[in-house]
Amino acid sequence: MKPWSREPRGRFDELEIDSALLRGNPLADPSVRPLWVYTPPGYDRAPKKRYPSLYLILGLTGQIDMWKNRLPFRPNVLELCDELFAEGGAPPAIVVFVDCWTRLGGSQYIDSPGTGRYLSYLADEIVPFVDARYRTLPKPEHRGITGKSSGGYGAMVAPMLRPDVFGGFASHAGDALFETCYLPAFRESVRLLRERYRGSFDLFWQKLREGPALQRPEEGVLMNDYCMAACYSADPDGTVRLPYDLETGELVPEIWERWLAWDPVRMARKHGDALRSLRAIYVDSGKNDEYFLDLGALAFRRELDRLGIEGYFFELFDGTHRAIEYRYPLAWRFLAERLSER
Amino acid sequence: MKPWSREPRGRFDELEIDSALLRGNPLADPSVRPLWVYTPPGYDRAPKKRYPSLYLILGLTGQIDMWKNRLPFRPNVLELCDELFAEGGAPPAIVVFVDCWTRLGGSQYIDSPGTGRYLSYLADEIVPFVDARYRTLPKPEHRGITGKSSGGYGAMVAPMLRPDVFGGFASHAGDALFETCYLPAFRESVRLLRERYRGSFDLFWQKLREGPALQRPEEGVLMNDYCMAACYSADPDGTVRLPYDLETGELVPEIWERWLAWDPVRMARKHGDALRSLRAIYVDSGKNDEYFLDLGALAFRRELDRLGIEGYFFELFDGTHRAIEYRYPLAWRFLAERLSER
Amino acid sequence: MKPWSREPRGRFDELEIDSALLRGNPLADPSVRPLWVYTPPGYDRAPKKRYPSLYLILGLTGQIDMWKNRLPFRPNVLELCDELFAEGGAPPAIVVFVDCWTRLGGSQYIDSPGTGRYLSYLADEIVPFVDARYRTLPKPEHRGITGKSSGGYGAMVAPMLRPDVFGGFASHAGDALFETCYLPAFRESVRLLRERYRGSFDLFWQKLREGPALQRPEEGVLMNDYCMAACYSADPDGTVRLPYDLETGELVPEIWERWLAWDPVRMARKHGDALRSLRAIYVDSGKNDEYFLDLGALAFRRELDRLGIEGYFFELFDGTHRAIEYRYPLAWRFLAERLSER
Amino acid sequence: MKPWSREPRGRFDELEIDSALLRGNPLADPSVRPLWVYTPPGYDRAPKKRYPSLYLILGLTGQIDMWKNRLPFRPNVLELCDELFAEGGAPPAIVVFVDCWTRLGGSQYIDSPGTGRYLSYLADEIVPFVDARYRTLPKPEHRGITGKSSGGYGAMVAPMLRPDVFGGFASHAGDALFETCYLPAFRESVRLLRERYRGSFDLFWQKLREGPALQRPEEGVLMNDYCMAACYSADPDGTVRLPYDLETGELVPEIWERWLAWDPVRMARKHGDALRSLRAIYVDSGKNDEYFLDLGALAFRRELDRLGIEGYFFELFDGTHRAIEYRYPLAWRFLAERLSER
């Protein structure tokens, strides 16, 4: 019965995975994690057939069930997925919905002493877990990763760091060119800290946990700065280092350099071989993205060009950072086509 | 496993109801509708006990599964519900999640030749359906209705029109005092129609249906104006009359009067006996509500005072129109306490 | 020496006029008023020649010396004027810079017991004063009036009410279609009054006078509402009646009707003969005017069409309400051409 | 006759100065410049008395006649000045209104091959010009400089660079801590260039000169970036180097370092002796300054503290960047008191 429920033509399995790598993580976040796997129509009727696999990763604050969030008059992401593979003519693929939430908002899908070993969890636990249970084509050239925003970031960096695992990616408005996407908000954080939280991130987090969380949307910058610092510039003992003076906003160059080392634009310069090895690269962003991730996309594209990479997809579309889930199927199709067996 | 899944302590049943009243509705929307019913912890162990019932209705564009939408770091509405009745110490109640979505966004929970007979559907089909299947206290004094925004509107007007069915209500930021909540947006609609839709609502709806819907959030005014006109000022043959000139925005007094007849503030003046009969009235709004529903709340309160009604709950809280679902449990508890058997 | 000073080619006389009509005005505003008169290049060398005259009137809060306000990289209004007549090839005209400021912001250039007799002052004192001292063509068909915003309003209504004085006008973004330009702000005023001024306009004015005035720009709505009420709906004894309930914003129909009687769109329906008698009508507005005066312009145009008036100028240009002084010379030229002797 | 004209009690002289240092400046801006000098009441009756002098400098885009710009219901700056010295009880001082406008908006009151030798012009031409014509106390300890925004910047740096000339300063919302006040806007410039100016600053300036200038206020960032680059990072031959890649916004470190060398916060670390020599330091900013100059003020204060400087004035007041001219008299009084003869 439309529009409330659309019986999927493929199948969604809601699983759990007990992660050894996340056990004892520094934030005491759960190490048993949800994982959803979508198998396309026909999967059960073709017991020998193997499929490429697409790993979907969430943006900051994303929990797995947010894939079901519905916007007015729109299909949710699960419905988009089923539609693409049931009606859209995309080559069949297995789609894996990953959760790397942390109580700071997320993990950027990297290993950090500030949050946990999320890249390893993804590459060394989730992927084998899926390969063991589903008829994937279990090689990097048939495995893609995709997401938006922080998920778009993860989609860019995971294949650079683990080309042995991922052979393609699609990034929608992924965090990149950190001086344009992150730095401009620092000053807002400093002012908010001063005016509302006595200069203390601890107080901010305490109030957030008491709830209702993030009642004032402009305070998202505080969560973002702190979470990114936990990902990019935590000390080995887990101490989170902010890249700016909390009272004035003056940049702390040595911490800021640690952030820049995680910037996909800078990383691309060091991971050219990995990038060249990929079978599918898709990058887009809204022209009016609130975080100016169009600039990150342009800068990343320039690095691809410098590396001599061809055949990637690139688009700046007419839109912002919000409500762009309708772009996902474009990327999934792109990945499914290029990551299928030839 | 927190925070992703919280096994409910009560029970959620996801049902369907085949509505005779909605069959052949003017928008050709489905007449088989989803309906969810929550029974509190202990319900199954007390087979003779009867409970008050709370009907939850959605805001504009709301589909039933949006109750599961999750905001960052927050429980969703179903979780809030289960928490309240499992841990919060509220008197047990049966909670009914209603869907009156239409392809124009909603129905305002009234009967209209422009949308369908949604008040009747709610009062004469859903309520008996629930009473027949669940151990409710099947009298108006044990039945409440609540919602936010257009749901808050419905919560105000349903008991005025059908005091034989509903004996209490809670309205969060309910549409009221139409010259303050609706009229100011008309000029925005007129300009948007002119600049983007060649002056035509038909073109607006066509583009919305092609999707992605409402990509530009500022266009919500177009949907709102048209949907409200379908609810408040459709002709008997279903023709939707807008209360303003589409080219200039000049008010059309006779249509505007038809709207005002549906304003809860004006309606209160005619339905004093119904309002006086209620056992529970709860009204709140954010002080900075984007639609200025704080003013509607204040005006509605004045009518309650003029009617000599006492003991109602009223609050203007520090907040806006968004992300205020954390207020719902306050209202549910209020209703559950006053609508329980004494 | 450009760009700081441009010796005018014409001449600006800064005069004063002692008004009998403004003496004892209800706001105790000065009755001795500044008046500037511009004579075009060649005026002094042609002692017999007579010229059409253009009366420039200010927007709300306008004091005469604001004509000299300079925006970055732009000529001020006096420089625009001199440029047009010295280099721009417009037919020569005498330009009169009028001041009808009041301590409430302005007068709308009408007679009101709430502010003073400003239309009479303009028509019966200033015009004869100028005609007596300058070689004007002292007939309505050679006399135009123009302004922006409240000045655009005055430019529309003065010729309707006093076609014996003004034979043409140009209105830039003039207040019109009051339900679109004024009413939507009422709710903002009510909230501001409640949150900042204990519900009292008196307190608002007291704080404004203590200064710094209007530090928070969003509070302009309070000034506007009150000043317009002083102009449109003051009782004979000067009591100012607001068209809405100060606590809820509910419209007070009988006061609102008094406002509507002053709406140029409604007035046009009663003053068709006056409008038909005019030699020059110019109406424009920015498409994105913050007060939606594009809609007022469109509605006013419709009335002109209904009256069978032809040959008027109409344009919705790409712009807002601010920084549109560059449009003035278009209007001055239009008026000078049509109001010159033929 | 208030409020339109207030006969000053002191005297304003409007002078011109023919600058040798500005002759042949790289932008071909005028080298004959306006200069206004205010002498306080009593100046002419005390022919032997000598006075401290205050140099007022303008913000970006400021031309000298903008001191006369009037905001609604407020005195203009000249009136504030006369009020302070005629009624306000401040020690008498001579006030010099300086103009360092350029066709790029301004000069930051420094010497640059991109704009001209404006600091030298101020210190070596204007100051001697004034001292020669007015009874100043012609020593640095009796000479102060003050301004807002870019004028506040100039007020901070001029005494650091020329303590032989200026012995005190007051900075309102002065440009400082460049990563917080400038860098965040770079991304906006890049997007605007891309979307509206084919990536070219030349096209931006061409359109600005065709006028109307800066019709879209959000484009001020383009002017600002370019003008600051002309001030801070022009090559010896006048070539203007932007500190970011025009297509992506990626920071160009070597150019950005050239900017930072002009940051008052960094400069303070090198000019401690100059700062310690000053008799008057006044720093303020609005807490909600749009350019976050509150952070620059806080960072500058920290440097003062590190230098062991005491007795300075510091305040973050409740306000933004606009309409804060009412703060000026606080600073003028502060300077006049500290720079008078003791």
The CB density around residue C339, as the number of other CB atoms within 10 Å, is 27
CA–CA gap between residue A165 and residue A167 (Å, rounded): 7
Interface contact flag, D69 C70, Cβ < 8 Å: yes
Chains C and B touch (3+ CB pairs under 8 A): yes
The one-character DSSP state at C243 is: S
Q: In the prediction, which pLDDT does C4 show?
A: 62
The per-residue pLDDT for range A66-80, each reduced to its tens digit, is 999 999 999 999 999
**A272: closest CA among A299, A295, A304?**
A304
A 180-239 → D contacts, CB under 8 A? 180, 183-188, 190-191, 195
CA–CA gap between residue D285 and residue A3 (Å, rounded): 54
**CB-based contact (8 Å) between A5 and chain B?**
yes
ipTM score for this prediction: 0.96
B 101-140 → A contacts, CB under 8 A? 101, 105
Interface contact flag, A250 D287, Cβ < 8 Å: no
In contact, A300 and A268? CB cutoff 8 Å: yes
CA–CA gap between residue C128 and residue C134 (Å, rounded): 10
Exposed, middle or buried by CB within 10 Å (0-12, 13-18, 19+), for D154? buried
Q: Write down the residue that tokens 């009755």 correspond to.
A: C31
Order across the sheet with D53-57: list the strands.
D11-18, D32-39, D94-97, D53-57, D143-148, D168-172, D280-286, D313-317
Work out the average pLDDT over B40-61: 97
B37-70 b/e (C-beta count within 10 Å ≥ 16 → b): bbbbeebeeeeeeebbbbbbbbbbbbbbbbbbbb
In contact, B74 and A211? CB cutoff 8 Å: yes
Interface contact flag, C73 D214, Cβ < 8 Å: yes
B253-269 b/e (C-beta count within 10 Å ≥ 16 → b): eebbebbbebbbbbbbe
CA–CA gap between residue A333 and residue D307 (Å, rounded): 62
D6, D31, D32, D73: which to substitute to probe chain C, counting the most C Cβ within 10 Å? D73
What's the token pair of residue A205? 């987090």
**CB-based contact (8 Å) between A306 and chain D?**
no
The per-residue pLDDT for range D25-40, each reduced to its tens digit, is 999 999 999 999 999 9
How far apart are the CA of B69 and the nearest CA of chain A, in angstroms? 4
Q: In the prediction, which pLDDT does D3 show?
A: 63
> In this model, does residue C1 exceed pLDDT 60?
no
> In this model, does residue D192 exceed pLDDT 70?
yes
Query: Between D4 and D172, where is the model more confident?
Result: D172
Interface contact flag, C183 B186, Cβ < 8 Å: no
Q: In the prediction, which pLDDT does B2 show?
A: 58
Phi, psi of A179 (to 5 degrees): -70, -20
How far apart are the CA of D137 and the nearest CA of chain C, in angstroms? 29
Q: What is the dihedral of CA C294, C297, C302, C304, to 10 degrees?
A: -160
Positive or negative torsion for Cα D215, D220, D221, D224: positive
Q: In the prediction, which pLDDT does C2 show?
A: 59
Strand pairing category for D143-148 and D32-39: unpaired
What's the token pair of residue B19? 């509505």
The per-residue pLDDT for range A261-316, each reduced to its tens digit, is 999 999 999 999 999 999 999 999 999 999 999 999 999 999 999 999 999 999 99
Interface contact flag, B63 A3, Cβ < 8 Å: yes
**CB-based contact (8 Å) between B34 and chain A?**
yes
List CB contacts (< 8 A) between B61 and chain A.
72-73
Q: Write down the residue that tokens 């806006």 correspond to.
A: B320
> In this model, does residue D188 exceed pLDDT 50?
yes
Work out the average pLDDT over D101-111: 98
Interface contact flag, A179 D292, Cβ < 8 Å: no
> Which are the contacts of B310, defined by CB distance < 8 A and separation ≥ 6?
none
How far apart are the CA of C340 and the nearest CA of chain B, in angstroms? 34
The per-residue pLDDT for range A31-61, each reduced to its tens digit, is 999 999 999 999 999 999 999 999 999 999 9
Q: How open is the CA angle B230-B231-B233, to the nearest 5 degrees?
A: 70
How far apart are the CA of B20 and the nearest CA of chain C, in angstroms? 40
Interface contact flag, D323 C16, Cβ < 8 Å: no
Strand pairing category for B111-112 and B116-117: antiparallel
In contact, C145 and C54? CB cutoff 8 Å: yes
D124-141 b/e (C-beta count within 10 Å ≥ 16 → b): bbbbebbbeebbbbeebb
**Helix (H) or strand (E) segment spanning residue C301:** helix C293-306
Interface contact flag, C211 D326, Cβ < 8 Å: yes
Closest-approach residue (CA) in chain A for D302: A248
**A182: closest CA among A217, A226, A133, A143?**
A226
**Helix (H) or strand (E) segment spanning residue B191:** helix B183-196
What's the token pair of residue C37? 């008169």
CA–CA gap between residue B33 and residue A2 (Å, rounded): 9
The per-residue pLDDT for range C73-122, each reduced to its tens digit, is 999 999 999 999 999 999 999 999 999 999 999 999 999 999 999 999 99
Q: What is the percentage of chain A residues whose pLDDT exceeds 90?
A: 97
In contact, D105 and D61? CB cutoff 8 Å: yes
Order across the sheet with C32-39: list the strands.
C11-18, C32-39, C94-97, C53-57, C143-148, C168-172, C280-286, C313-317
CA–CA gap between residue A310 and residue A308 (Å, rounded): 6
> In this model, does residue C136 exceed pLDDT 90?
yes
CA–CA gap between residue C96 and residue C55 (Å, rounded): 5
Q: How open is the CA angle D309-D313-D319, to the nearest 5 degrees?
A: 140
Q: Model confidence at D237, in pLDDT bands (50, 70, 90)?
A: very high
CA–CA gap between residue C52 and residue B242 (Å, rounded): 46
User: What's the mean pLDDT when you consider all of chain B?
Assistant: 97
In contact, D187 and D249? CB cutoff 8 Å: yes
Chains C and A touch (3+ CB pairs under 8 A): no
D4, D204, D326: which to substitute to probe chain C, counting the most C Cβ within 10 Å? D4
The one-character DSSP state at C51 is: B
User: What's the mean pLDDT when you consider all of chain A?
Assistant: 97
List CB contacts (< 8 A) between C209 and chain D.
73
How far apart are the CA of B333 and the nearest CA of chain A, in angstroms? 18
Work out the average pLDDT over B325-330: 98
Sort residue A108 into left (φ over 0), alpha (ψ -120 to 50) or beta: left
* Alpha carbon D99 to its chain's center: 10
Interface contact flag, B250 C183, Cβ < 8 Å: no
The CB density around residue D318, as the number of other CB atoms within 10 Å, is 9
> In this model, does residue A1 exceed pLDDT 50?
no
Q: What share of chain D is helix, strand, coil (3-state, %, to 5)?
A: 40, 15, 40
Chain D touching partners, 3 or more CB pairs below 8 A? A, C
**B212: closest CA among C91, C157, A72?**
A72
The per-residue pLDDT for range C256-282, each reduced to its tens digit, is 999 999 999 999 999 999 999 999 999
Q: In the prediction, which pLDDT does C284 show?
A: 98
Strand pairing category for B94-97 and B111-112: unpaired
> In this model, does residue D23 exceed pLDDT 90?
yes
Exposed, middle or buried by CB within 10 Å (0-12, 13-18, 19+), for D253? exposed
Q: Which of C180, C185, C191 sits opposite B294 (nearest CB)?
A: C191
In contact, B170 and B331? CB cutoff 8 Å: yes
